[in-house]
Protein backbone atom coordinates (compact mmCIF):
# COMPACT_ATOMS: atom_id res chain seq x y z
CA UNK A 1 0.00 0.00 0.00
CA UNK A 2 1.39 3.40 -1.02
CA UNK A 3 0.52 5.98 1.64
CA UNK A 4 -0.89 9.29 0.42
CA UNK A 5 -0.03 12.70 1.81
CA UNK A 6 -3.60 13.41 2.85
CA UNK A 7 -4.86 11.94 6.11
CA UNK A 8 -8.57 12.56 5.65
CA UNK A 9 -9.27 12.74 9.38
CA UNK A 10 -7.39 16.07 9.38
CA UNK A 11 -9.66 17.58 6.74
CA UNK A 12 -13.14 16.23 7.34
CA UNK A 13 -15.25 18.42 9.62
CA UNK A 14 -18.86 18.36 10.76
CA UNK A 15 -21.05 20.75 8.81
CA UNK A 16 -18.64 20.78 5.84
CA UNK A 17 -18.36 18.96 2.53
CA UNK A 18 -14.91 17.61 1.68
CA UNK A 19 -14.51 17.29 -2.09
CA UNK A 20 -11.70 15.12 -3.47
CA UNK A 21 -10.84 15.81 -7.11
CA UNK A 22 -8.35 14.12 -9.36
CA UNK A 23 -7.82 12.29 -12.63
CA UNK A 24 -9.26 8.83 -12.94
CA UNK A 25 -7.20 6.05 -11.36
CA UNK A 26 -5.19 8.31 -9.05
CA UNK A 27 -6.52 6.52 -5.96
CA UNK A 28 -9.46 8.65 -4.78
CA UNK A 29 -11.69 5.66 -4.02
CA UNK A 30 -8.84 3.84 -2.25
CA UNK A 31 -8.10 6.93 -0.14
CA UNK A 32 -11.77 7.16 0.82
CA UNK A 33 -12.14 3.46 1.61
CA UNK A 34 -8.97 3.39 3.73
CA UNK A 35 -10.37 6.25 5.79
CA UNK A 36 -13.77 4.63 6.25
CA UNK A 37 -12.48 1.18 7.22
CA UNK A 38 -11.18 2.50 10.56
CA UNK A 39 -14.05 4.91 11.19
CA UNK A 40 -15.92 4.28 14.43
CA UNK A 41 -18.84 6.54 13.50
CA UNK A 42 -21.82 5.19 11.57
CA UNK A 43 -21.40 6.05 7.91
CA UNK A 44 -23.01 5.44 4.52
CA UNK A 45 -20.95 4.98 1.34
CA UNK A 46 -22.71 5.23 -2.01
CA UNK A 47 -21.75 5.77 -5.64
CA UNK A 48 -22.92 8.52 -7.95
CA UNK A 49 -23.48 5.79 -10.54
CA UNK A 50 -26.36 4.45 -8.43
CA UNK A 51 -29.61 5.56 -10.10
CA UNK A 52 -31.51 5.59 -6.81
CA UNK A 53 -28.89 7.89 -5.24
CA UNK A 54 -29.14 10.15 -8.29
CA UNK A 55 -32.92 10.34 -7.88
CA UNK A 56 -32.64 11.21 -4.18
CA UNK A 57 -30.23 14.10 -4.68
CA UNK A 58 -31.87 15.34 -7.87
CA UNK A 59 -35.20 15.60 -6.05
CA UNK A 60 -34.06 18.69 -4.11
CA UNK A 61 -36.62 17.55 -1.55
CA UNK A 62 -35.25 18.15 1.97
CA UNK A 63 -37.48 15.46 3.43
CA UNK A 64 -36.20 12.84 0.98
CA UNK A 65 -32.53 13.85 1.22
CA UNK A 66 -32.55 14.13 5.01
CA UNK A 67 -34.35 10.81 5.26
CA UNK A 68 -31.55 9.26 3.21
CA UNK A 69 -28.96 10.49 5.75
CA UNK A 70 -30.97 9.88 8.92
CA UNK A 71 -29.05 8.05 11.64
CA UNK A 72 -25.63 8.51 9.99
CA UNK A 73 -22.76 10.69 11.10
CA UNK A 74 -21.00 10.66 7.74
CA UNK A 75 -22.20 10.40 4.14
CA UNK A 76 -19.68 9.55 1.41
CA UNK A 77 -20.51 9.73 -2.31
CA UNK A 78 -17.92 8.27 -4.68
CA UNK A 79 -18.00 9.41 -8.33
CA UNK A 80 -20.29 12.24 -7.29
CA UNK A 81 -19.94 13.99 -10.66
CA UNK A 82 -22.46 11.47 -12.03
CA UNK A 83 -25.22 13.20 -10.03
CA UNK A 84 -26.48 16.31 -11.79
CA UNK A 85 -26.76 19.33 -9.52
CA UNK A 86 -25.04 17.42 -6.72
CA UNK A 87 -24.07 20.70 -5.03
CA UNK A 88 -27.65 21.65 -4.20
CA UNK A 89 -28.37 18.25 -2.68
CA UNK A 90 -25.24 18.40 -0.51
CA UNK A 91 -26.15 21.95 0.54
CA UNK A 92 -29.51 20.71 1.80
CA UNK A 93 -27.76 18.07 3.89
CA UNK A 94 -25.25 20.49 5.43
CA UNK A 95 -27.77 23.27 6.04
CA UNK A 96 -30.10 20.96 7.97
CA UNK A 97 -27.53 18.68 9.64
CA UNK A 98 -24.72 20.71 11.21
CA UNK A 99 -23.42 17.55 12.87
CA UNK A 100 -23.06 15.70 9.58
CA UNK A 101 -19.76 15.09 7.76
CA UNK A 102 -19.90 14.71 3.98
CA UNK A 103 -17.29 13.49 1.48
CA UNK A 104 -17.68 13.60 -2.30
CA UNK A 105 -15.12 12.33 -4.79
CA UNK A 106 -15.06 13.16 -8.47
CA UNK A 107 -12.81 12.76 -11.48
CA UNK A 108 -14.34 15.44 -13.67
CA UNK A 109 -13.56 18.73 -12.03
CA UNK A 110 -15.12 20.67 -14.86
CA UNK A 111 -18.44 19.02 -14.03
CA UNK A 112 -18.23 18.65 -10.27
CA UNK A 113 -16.77 22.12 -9.64
CA UNK A 114 -19.56 23.76 -11.63
CA UNK A 115 -22.17 21.79 -9.71
CA UNK A 116 -20.69 22.43 -6.27
CA UNK A 117 -19.20 25.90 -6.66
CA UNK A 118 -22.00 28.33 -5.87
CA UNK A 119 -24.30 26.09 -3.75
CA UNK A 120 -21.44 25.13 -1.41
CA UNK A 121 -19.73 28.50 -1.07
CA UNK A 122 -18.25 28.59 2.43
CA UNK A 123 -19.38 25.00 3.07
CA UNK A 124 -16.68 22.93 1.37
CA UNK A 125 -13.00 22.01 1.47
CA UNK A 126 -11.38 20.88 -1.78
CA UNK A 127 -8.48 18.44 -2.03
CA UNK A 128 -6.77 17.54 -5.32
CA UNK A 129 -5.31 14.05 -5.56
CA UNK A 130 -2.53 13.83 -8.15
CA UNK A 131 -0.57 10.80 -9.28
CA UNK A 132 1.84 9.98 -6.45
CA UNK A 133 4.29 12.73 -5.54
CA UNK A 134 7.95 12.16 -4.76
CA UNK A 135 7.32 13.51 -1.25
CA UNK A 136 4.70 10.76 -0.78
CA UNK A 137 7.06 8.04 -2.03
CA UNK A 138 9.48 8.99 0.74
CA UNK A 139 7.23 6.89 2.97
CA UNK A 140 8.52 3.80 1.14
CA UNK A 141 12.02 4.72 -0.03
CA UNK A 142 14.69 7.24 0.88
CA UNK A 143 16.03 10.08 -1.26
CA UNK A 144 18.94 8.05 -2.62
CA UNK A 145 16.64 5.24 -3.78
CA UNK A 146 14.15 7.61 -5.41
CA UNK A 147 16.92 9.51 -7.20
CA UNK A 148 18.15 6.18 -8.56
CA UNK A 149 14.70 5.68 -10.10
CA UNK A 150 14.53 9.11 -11.76
CA UNK A 151 14.67 7.70 -15.28
CA UNK A 152 11.77 5.38 -14.51
CA UNK A 153 9.66 8.30 -13.23
CA UNK A 154 10.44 10.38 -16.31
CA UNK A 155 9.42 7.57 -18.68
CA UNK A 156 6.54 5.88 -16.88
CA UNK A 157 5.26 8.56 -14.51
CA UNK A 158 3.70 8.11 -11.07
CA UNK A 159 0.21 6.63 -11.34
CA UNK A 160 -0.35 4.19 -8.45
CA UNK A 161 -0.96 1.20 -10.73
CA UNK A 162 2.14 1.99 -12.75
CA UNK A 163 4.35 2.26 -9.66
CA UNK A 164 3.13 -1.09 -8.33
CA UNK A 165 3.43 -2.90 -11.69
CA UNK A 166 6.06 -5.62 -11.77
CA UNK A 167 7.48 -5.18 -15.27
CA UNK A 168 7.96 -2.49 -17.90
CA UNK A 169 5.56 -4.40 -20.14
CA UNK A 170 2.85 -4.09 -17.48
CA UNK A 171 3.58 -0.38 -17.03
CA UNK A 172 3.15 0.24 -20.76
CA UNK A 173 -0.10 -1.73 -20.81
CA UNK A 174 -1.51 0.25 -17.87
CA UNK A 175 -0.54 3.61 -19.39
CA UNK A 176 -1.97 2.67 -22.78
CA UNK A 177 -5.21 1.62 -21.09
CA UNK A 178 -5.36 4.88 -19.12
CA UNK A 179 -4.95 6.97 -22.26
CA UNK A 180 -7.21 4.78 -24.38
CA UNK A 181 -10.07 4.18 -21.96
CA UNK A 182 -10.06 6.46 -18.93
CA UNK A 183 -8.46 9.89 -19.03
CA UNK A 184 -10.47 11.24 -21.94
CA UNK A 185 -13.69 9.54 -20.85
CA UNK A 186 -15.10 12.55 -19.01
CA UNK A 187 -14.43 14.85 -21.95
CA UNK A 188 -15.84 12.51 -24.56
CA UNK A 189 -18.99 11.88 -22.52
CA UNK A 190 -19.93 15.53 -22.46
CA UNK A 191 -22.70 16.62 -24.77
CA UNK A 192 -21.61 18.67 -27.78
CA UNK A 193 -18.09 17.20 -27.66
CA UNK A 194 -17.95 15.07 -30.77
CA UNK A 195 -14.48 15.69 -32.19
CA UNK A 196 -12.79 13.01 -30.10
CA UNK A 197 -9.97 12.43 -32.59
CA UNK A 198 -9.36 16.17 -32.77
CA UNK A 199 -8.92 16.45 -29.00
CA UNK A 200 -6.49 13.54 -29.06
CA UNK A 201 -4.57 15.08 -31.98
CA UNK A 202 -4.34 18.34 -30.04
CA UNK A 203 -3.03 16.46 -27.00
CA UNK A 204 -0.47 14.64 -29.14
CA UNK A 205 0.64 17.94 -30.65
CA UNK A 206 1.20 19.41 -27.19
CA UNK A 207 3.07 16.27 -26.12
CA UNK A 208 5.73 17.20 -28.67
CA UNK A 209 5.92 20.77 -27.35
CA UNK A 210 6.27 20.46 -23.59
CA UNK A 211 8.33 23.34 -22.23
CA UNK A 212 7.75 25.39 -25.37
CA UNK A 213 5.43 28.34 -25.81
CA UNK A 214 2.44 27.75 -28.04
CA UNK A 215 -0.17 30.10 -29.45
CA UNK A 216 -3.83 29.37 -30.09
CA UNK A 217 -3.45 30.50 -33.70
CA UNK A 218 -0.66 28.02 -34.35
CA UNK A 219 -2.47 25.15 -32.63
CA UNK A 220 -5.72 25.89 -34.47
CA UNK A 221 -3.94 25.87 -37.82
CA UNK A 222 -2.18 22.57 -37.09
CA UNK A 223 -5.27 20.67 -35.92
CA UNK A 224 -7.57 22.42 -38.44
CA UNK A 225 -10.01 23.84 -35.88
CA UNK A 226 -11.16 27.35 -35.11
CA UNK A 227 -9.50 29.19 -32.24
CA UNK A 228 -12.55 29.12 -29.96
CA UNK A 229 -12.81 25.34 -30.26
CA UNK A 230 -9.11 24.87 -29.53
CA UNK A 231 -9.40 27.15 -26.52
CA UNK A 232 -12.37 25.13 -25.25
CA UNK A 233 -10.58 21.81 -25.75
CA UNK A 234 -7.50 23.07 -23.91
CA UNK A 235 -9.72 24.15 -21.02
CA UNK A 236 -11.31 20.70 -20.91
CA UNK A 237 -7.93 18.95 -21.01
CA UNK A 238 -6.80 21.02 -18.06
CA UNK A 239 -9.99 20.42 -16.08
CA UNK A 240 -9.66 16.68 -16.74
CA UNK A 241 -6.21 16.76 -15.08
CA UNK A 242 -4.36 15.87 -18.29
CA UNK A 243 -2.63 19.21 -18.89
CA UNK A 244 -1.53 22.19 -16.81
CA UNK A 245 -1.37 25.63 -18.41
CA UNK A 246 1.32 28.18 -17.51
CA UNK A 247 1.23 31.78 -18.72
CA UNK A 248 4.03 34.30 -19.22
CA UNK A 249 5.10 36.67 -16.45
CA UNK A 250 5.31 40.38 -17.16
CA UNK A 251 5.35 43.71 -15.38
CA UNK A 252 4.59 45.47 -18.65
CA UNK A 253 8.12 45.56 -20.03
CA UNK A 254 7.76 45.88 -23.79
CA UNK A 255 10.02 42.97 -24.65
CA UNK A 256 8.35 40.39 -22.36
CA UNK A 257 6.26 37.69 -24.05
CA UNK A 258 2.78 37.26 -22.58
CA UNK A 259 0.67 36.26 -25.59
CA UNK A 260 1.67 32.60 -25.50
CA UNK A 261 1.35 29.81 -22.94
CA UNK A 262 3.15 26.62 -22.02
CA UNK A 263 1.43 23.31 -21.32
CA UNK A 264 2.82 20.58 -19.10
CA UNK A 265 1.36 17.11 -18.66
CA UNK A 266 0.15 16.23 -15.17
CA UNK A 267 2.06 12.97 -15.52
CA UNK A 268 5.10 12.24 -17.70
CA UNK A 269 4.00 8.63 -18.22
CA UNK A 270 0.72 9.83 -19.72
CA UNK A 271 2.65 12.20 -21.98
CA UNK A 272 4.83 9.37 -23.25
CA UNK A 273 1.81 7.11 -23.71
CA UNK A 274 0.08 9.74 -25.86
CA UNK A 275 2.98 9.59 -28.36
CA UNK A 276 3.80 5.89 -27.72
CA UNK A 277 7.37 6.71 -26.73
CA UNK A 278 8.87 4.60 -23.95
CA UNK A 279 12.52 4.54 -25.03
CA UNK A 280 15.31 4.89 -22.48
CA UNK A 281 16.62 8.40 -21.98
CA UNK A 282 19.87 7.67 -23.82
CA UNK A 283 17.83 6.78 -26.91
CA UNK A 284 15.70 9.91 -27.06
CA UNK A 285 16.16 13.64 -27.60
CA UNK A 286 13.53 14.91 -25.17
CA UNK A 287 15.11 14.01 -21.81
CA UNK A 288 15.51 17.68 -20.92
CA UNK A 289 11.86 18.39 -21.68
CA UNK A 290 10.73 15.40 -19.61
CA UNK A 291 12.89 16.56 -16.69
CA UNK A 292 11.38 20.07 -16.93
CA UNK A 293 7.84 18.64 -17.01
CA UNK A 294 8.63 16.37 -14.05
CA UNK A 295 10.05 19.22 -11.95
CA UNK A 296 7.17 21.57 -12.70
CA UNK A 297 4.47 19.02 -11.80
CA UNK A 298 6.26 17.73 -8.71
CA UNK A 299 6.70 21.32 -7.54
CA UNK A 300 2.98 21.88 -8.15
CA UNK A 301 2.12 18.84 -6.02
CA UNK A 302 4.52 19.99 -3.31
CA UNK A 303 3.00 23.47 -3.19
CA UNK A 304 -0.54 22.12 -3.15
CA UNK A 305 0.05 19.49 -0.48
CA UNK A 306 1.95 21.84 1.82
CA UNK A 307 -0.60 24.62 1.16
CA UNK A 308 2.03 26.98 -0.21
CA UNK A 309 0.02 29.52 -2.15
CA UNK A 310 1.74 31.09 -5.13
CA UNK A 311 1.26 32.06 -8.76
CA UNK A 312 3.39 30.19 -11.29
CA UNK A 313 4.62 31.59 -14.60
CA UNK A 314 7.39 31.27 -17.14
CA UNK A 315 9.39 34.30 -18.35
CA UNK A 316 10.69 35.05 -21.81
CA UNK A 317 11.64 38.08 -23.87
CA UNK A 318 11.33 38.53 -27.61
CA UNK A 319 15.10 38.24 -27.95
CA UNK A 320 14.97 34.70 -26.50
CA UNK A 321 16.03 35.32 -22.90
CA UNK A 322 14.01 32.97 -20.70
CA UNK A 323 13.48 31.42 -17.27
CA UNK A 324 11.49 28.19 -16.87
CA UNK A 325 9.55 28.96 -13.70
CA UNK A 326 8.68 32.13 -11.83
CA UNK A 327 6.88 31.82 -8.50
CA UNK A 328 5.19 34.86 -7.04
CA UNK A 329 4.42 34.40 -3.36
CA UNK A 330 4.08 36.68 -0.37
CA UNK A 331 4.99 39.69 -2.51
CA UNK A 332 8.32 38.22 -3.66
CA UNK A 333 9.57 36.70 -6.91
CA UNK A 334 11.49 33.42 -7.11
CA UNK A 335 13.02 32.38 -10.45
CA UNK A 336 14.07 28.82 -11.28
CA UNK A 337 15.89 27.55 -14.36
CA UNK A 338 15.73 23.78 -14.96
CA UNK A 339 18.81 22.08 -16.45
CA UNK A 340 19.16 18.43 -17.41
CA UNK A 341 22.68 18.72 -18.81
CA UNK A 342 25.54 20.22 -16.86
CA UNK A 343 26.39 23.68 -18.10
CA UNK A 344 26.98 27.03 -16.50
CA UNK A 345 24.31 29.67 -16.90
CA UNK A 346 23.77 33.08 -15.44
CA UNK A 347 20.65 34.97 -14.53
CA UNK A 348 19.42 36.81 -17.67
CA UNK A 349 20.54 40.44 -17.63
CA UNK A 350 17.05 41.81 -18.37
CA UNK A 351 15.61 39.84 -15.46
CA UNK A 352 18.34 40.90 -13.02
CA UNK A 353 18.01 44.56 -13.99
CA UNK A 354 14.23 44.73 -13.89
CA UNK A 355 13.64 42.45 -10.88
CA UNK A 356 16.68 43.09 -8.66
CA UNK A 357 15.01 41.85 -5.48
CA UNK A 358 14.08 38.44 -6.88
CA UNK A 359 15.88 35.18 -6.15
CA UNK A 360 17.38 33.09 -8.96
CA UNK A 361 18.26 29.40 -8.70
CA UNK A 362 19.34 26.66 -11.08
CA UNK A 363 17.64 23.30 -10.49
CA UNK A 364 19.50 20.31 -11.92
CA UNK A 365 19.98 16.58 -11.35
CA UNK A 366 22.18 17.27 -8.33
CA UNK A 367 19.87 19.50 -6.29
CA UNK A 368 16.33 18.83 -7.57
CA UNK A 369 15.09 16.58 -4.77
CA UNK A 370 14.65 19.16 -1.97
CA UNK A 371 13.05 21.51 -4.53
CA UNK A 372 10.13 19.09 -4.98
CA UNK A 373 9.86 17.53 -1.52
CA UNK A 374 10.76 20.02 1.22
CA UNK A 375 8.14 22.48 2.57
Q: What is the DSSP string of 282-308?
A: GG-S-HHHHHHHHHHHHHHHHHHHTT-
Residues 175 and 271 in one domain: yes
Final residue of a domain: which of 128, 156, 171?
128
Closest of 46, 52, 127 to residue 79, by C-alpha: 46
**Is 372 within a domain?**
no
Give the structural domain span for 115: 8-128
- Beta-carbon contacts of residue 208 (< 8 Å; ≥ 6 apart): 275
- Same domain as 248, residue 149: yes
* 24 and 42 assigned to the same domain: yes
37, 182: one domain: no
Query: Do residues 337 and 358 make contact, with C-beta atoms less than 8 angstroms apart?
Result: no
Per-residue model confidence (pLDDT) at position 271: 98
Do 159 and 46 share a structural domain?
no
pLDDT of residue 195: 66
3-state helix/strand/coil string of 185-247: HHHHHCCCCCCHHHHHHHHHHHHCCCCCCECHHHHHHHHCCCHHHHHHHHHHHHHCCCEEEEE
Indicate the DSSP class of residue 11: T
Regarding whether 239 and 287 lie in a shared domain, the answer is yes
Does one domain contain both 203 and 76?
no
Number of domains, the chain:
2
Backbone angles phi, psi at 326, to 5 degrees: -120, 125
Q: Does any domain span residue 102?
A: yes
Same domain, 103 and 139: no
> What are the helix (H) ranges across the chain?
28-36, 51-58, 62-69, 86-96, 109-116, 134-137, 143-148, 150-156, 160-163, 168-177, 185-189, 196-207, 216-223, 227-239, 268-274, 287-305, 349-354, 368-373
In a domain? residue 362 = no
pLDDT < 70 stretches in the chain: 110, 190-192, 194-195, 252
Tell me, what CATH number does 70's domain have?
3.40.50.300
d(CA 149, CA 273): 19
Q: Is residue 91 part of a domain?
A: yes
The values of phi and psi at residue 324, to 5°, are: -65, -40
Q: Are residues 195 and 60 in the same domain?
A: no
Domain end, chosen from 270, 288, 305, is at 305
Alpha carbons 140 and 153: distance in angstroms, whole number: 15
**Is residue 325 one of the residues assigned to a domain?**
no
Do 31 and 152 lie in one domain? The reply is: no
pLDDT in tens, 113-147: 777 878 898 899 999 999 999 999 999 999 999 99
Burial class of 338 by CB neighbour count within 10 A (0 to 12, 13 to 18, 19+): buried
Specify the DSSP element, H or E, that contains 104.
strand 101-106
Same domain, 147 and 122: no
User: Quick check: helix, strand or coil at residue 133?
Assistant: coil
Residue 15 domain flag: yes
Q: Are residues 64 and 166 in the same domain?
A: no
Q: In what order do the strands lie in the sheet with 124-128?
A: 43-47, 74-78, 101-106, 17-21, 124-128
What's the CA angle centered on 287, arms 282 and 292, to 5 degrees? 160
Residue 364 inside a domain? The answer is: no
Strands 74-78 and 101-106: parallel
Nearest CA-CA partner of 29 in 73, 69, 79, 74: 79
Domain stops at, among 128, 150, 174: 128
Residue 98 domain-assigned (yes or no): yes
Q: What is the CATH number of the domain that holds 210?
A: 1.10.10.10
The model's pTM = 0.94
Amino acid sequence: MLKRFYSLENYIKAGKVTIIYGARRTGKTTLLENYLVNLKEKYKLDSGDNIRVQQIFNSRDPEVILGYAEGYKLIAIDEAQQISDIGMGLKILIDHRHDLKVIATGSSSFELSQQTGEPLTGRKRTLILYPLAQLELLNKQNEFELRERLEDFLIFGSYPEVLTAGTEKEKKEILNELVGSYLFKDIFSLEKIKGTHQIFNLTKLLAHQIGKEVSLNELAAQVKLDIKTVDKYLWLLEKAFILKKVTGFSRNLRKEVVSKAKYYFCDTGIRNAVISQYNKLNDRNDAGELFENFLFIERLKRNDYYEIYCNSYFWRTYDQKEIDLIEEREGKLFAFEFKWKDRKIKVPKDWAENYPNSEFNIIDKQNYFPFITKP
